Amino acid sequence: MGKEAVRAIAQAQDLTLVGCLTGRHHQGDDAGVIAGIGPIGVPLQTDLAAVLAETRPDVFVDLTVPAVIERHLDITAAAGIHTVVGTTGLPESRFGAWDAAFRQQASAALICPNFALGAMLMIEFAKQAAKYFPDAAIVEWHHAAKVDAPSGTALRTAMAIGQADAGATGPEAPSLGERVHGIPVHSIRLPGLLAHQEVIFGGPGQVLTIRHDAMSRECYMPGLLLAIRNVGRLQGFVVGLEHVLALTTGSNP
């Protein structure tokens, strides 16, 4: 995901990649070379505070893991750097403090469980369907290395369905998956998969299925670039790419 993001940002005509972080590997190497697009003059570094002081970026993008992102959010909030995060699993107990910290610096953090625009539409269509189909279930498939289950996208879908129809439920049966906001969610982790989700609504004599398939990580890049370009229009700690879509389309998230 990080390599894909480097390629997308470096090739966007209206954006400039000024710094890039890594873990223990490839320190000092050119980020463009590692991403497969050739030298771009941006070395991989390991110290976020040093990179921010050296490059003074408008936006910081973090696509790592919650334990690392927590530390990074503390740093970018204090520095007043707009931040775009692509992960799930951050502790909700810290959301309020991060919101206050970013607002104090007139900056924003945008947390996106999913950058795929198709996935955002899937959630929106599911919200509409929930008004007419009270019985629903979610099945999500991801690659074997994905550690969280249910996925962040499945959690947000279940929440959206529950908010759209307070009576939304799934049929009672002991074999059904974990219930989120009353909706059964089934999680599958297998090699060969990337990211796939079905939202299934059942009614007398009919079934409605809304499905999204991510075939490659390239599908996340339009949403990531949209988040980067618009995070500066937000304030505080915001969860969900739909808030940026609302800014660009004039609709309510």
Known catalytic residue at 142: yes
d(CA 140, CA 77): 33
* Alpha-carbon radius of gyration of the chain: 19
**Catalytic residue among 82, 142, 212, 243, which?**
142
**Catalytic residue among 26, 146, 181, 196, which?**
146
CB atoms within 10 A of CB 29: 15
φ, ψ of residue 181 in degrees (nearest 5): 55, 35
Known catalytic residue at 131: no
Give the chain's end-to-end CA distance (angstroms, integer). Answer: 26
d(CA 146, CA 159): 21
CA dihedral 154, 121, 207, 215 (to 10 degrees): -70
Catalytic residues: 142, 146
